Amino acid sequence: MERILITGGAGFIGRFVADELLRRGHEVRVLDSLIEQVHGETDGSQMLNPHAELIRGDVRNKDVVAKALQGVDSVIHLAAEVGVGQSMYEVERYTSTNDVGTAVLFEALIDQPVRRVVTASSMSIYGEGLYRDAEGELVQDAERKGLKDGQANWEPIDDLGRPLTPVATPEWKRPNLSSIYALNKYVQERTTHIMAAPYGIEGVCLRLFNVYGPGQALSNPYTGVLAIFASRLLNGQQPMIFEDGEQRRDFVHVSDVARAFADALVLPSAVGGTFNIGSGTDRSVTEVATELARAMGKNEIAPEIVGKARIGDIRHCFCDTSLAADKLGFRATQDFQEGLAELAIWVAQQTAQDRVEQMRAELEARGLVA
């Protein structure tokens, strides 16, 4: 058994990872700055497993990071500012925390090397997912140009104006970095792979798709879409959906994600790899909002279809899970309907400040809604 440091380990995903590692008999140390946007005014540390050691500090502080690495065997690197929209105007904050924080961690690892580092990446690095054109050829660089209010067709098209068909996105698809957050996550990936091997460290990256489950930051309007929808519904408000709501995504339960991190930490076949972690099933955003409302007993609240696009958003991206299944033996096991029911029960016991209108106003004021 090992002592494992989880950076950002008091966050939504980090707490589940900590629980999974503790169940497997490891010792867990958490480094987290406990920022208010994510953890609220009460800092959220009380939600962390009491058997995990907590060090409160910033991943950009080299002294704090060096202290956190003392006696550690492996690292799971989750610390990051999260949110595509907010990253487009709080550029320094996102780049500093995500990219500089990762640089500080790996610089500290030169003097205090560990066996393995598993870094959390994101499906956002793909930009648009993989598509197939009318001739059946795969298209890696699909783009939407000239987005405007209420347009009839939000779908990417080819050079002849023909629609493209979305297909599951594999790891070999070229990155198409359409937001600062996506750029940050790609830098974290490359830093991990560039820095690990020369210093005798095993590096692994997991590209997470849309993670959901109990414990999400309901009052953070830049977090996962299901948490945002849940906050709106809890406050009797319509879930706000940009474009026409037919965007397709892959939703994976946080317990499956935690298991993927724990396995990636030990499997020899993971070393040097980058893997998609998703459910392998795609759903429209409107479908998800409607199903969540039903699970929460709010059937009468239909989603609001905004008819506008956010700069940096993409149309379709869902997960090809075959590489993770082959190399990690990973398959998501949580049933989506059961996961929504579990989320609904937890949300009913919470209070949440609905800040979605504030988020929309901030984006519109900066010209980030088309």
Write out the two tokens for 177. Answer: 């970095």
pLDDT tens for each residue of 174-190: 999 988 999 999 999 99
370 in a structural domain: no
Average pLDDT over residues 96-116: 97
245 in a structural domain: yes
Q: Please list the active-site residues.
A: 181
Question: Which CATH number does the domain housing residue 182 bear?
Answer: 3.40.50.720
| pTM, full prediction | 0.92
Tally the domains of the chain.
1
Domain that holds residue 153: 3-365
pLDDT tens for each residue of 262-281: 999 999 999 999 999 999 99
pLDDT tens for each residue of 152-175: 578 998 888 888 999 999 999 999
E strands in the chain: 3-7, 27-32, 53-56, 74-77, 116-122, 131-132, 138-139, 165-166, 202-208, 210-212, 240-241, 248-253, 274-277, 282-284, 304-305, 316-317
Judged against a pLDDT cut of 90, whether residue 349 lies above it is answered with no
Average pLDDT over residues 62-74: 98
Split at pLDDT 50, 70, 90, the class of 360 is low
